[in-house]
Amino acid sequence: MDDGARDPADESVADLASDITLQRSVGEGLELAEVQRALDRMGRGEYGYCVDCGEEIPIERLRVQPTAVRDVRCQTLFEQANEKQTPNL
């Protein structure tokens, strides 16, 4: 018989499972968007070229990260620039 009493531990586990499911869905949505942008770049003949310097992205990088939009040098510079703009919390 269910008397309406809820176990806080069970609720906590259920909340965690719900959060994990939501986070997984968000991650999959972001990944799908990256793939779609890569396909769009292919359609425009821009796939495999760095969006910052215009140089070809090495095939080795594209094998590891097929949705890469920058070569390693430009990606490193991009991350360093954005790291400085992000406040440490």
Residue type, 19: D
User: Mind giving me the DSSP string for 14-80?
Assistant: HHHHHHHHHHHHHHHHHHHHHHHHHHHHHHHT-TTB-TTT-PBPPHHHHHH-TT--S-HHHHHHHHH
Q: Give how far the C-alpha of residue 77 lies from the chain's centroid of Cα atoms, to the nearest Å.
A: 18
Domain positions in the chain are 7-46, 48-89
Residue percentage of the chain with pLDDT more than 70: 84
Question: Six-digit token pair at 57?
Answer: 């992205």
73 vs 33: CA distance, rounded Å: 24
Residue 18: pLDDT band by 50, 70, 90 thresholds?
A: confident
pTM for the model stands at 0.62
For the segment 3-13, what is each residue's pLDDT rounded down to a tens digit?
A: 556 777 777 77
Provide the pLDDT for residue 2. Answer: 55
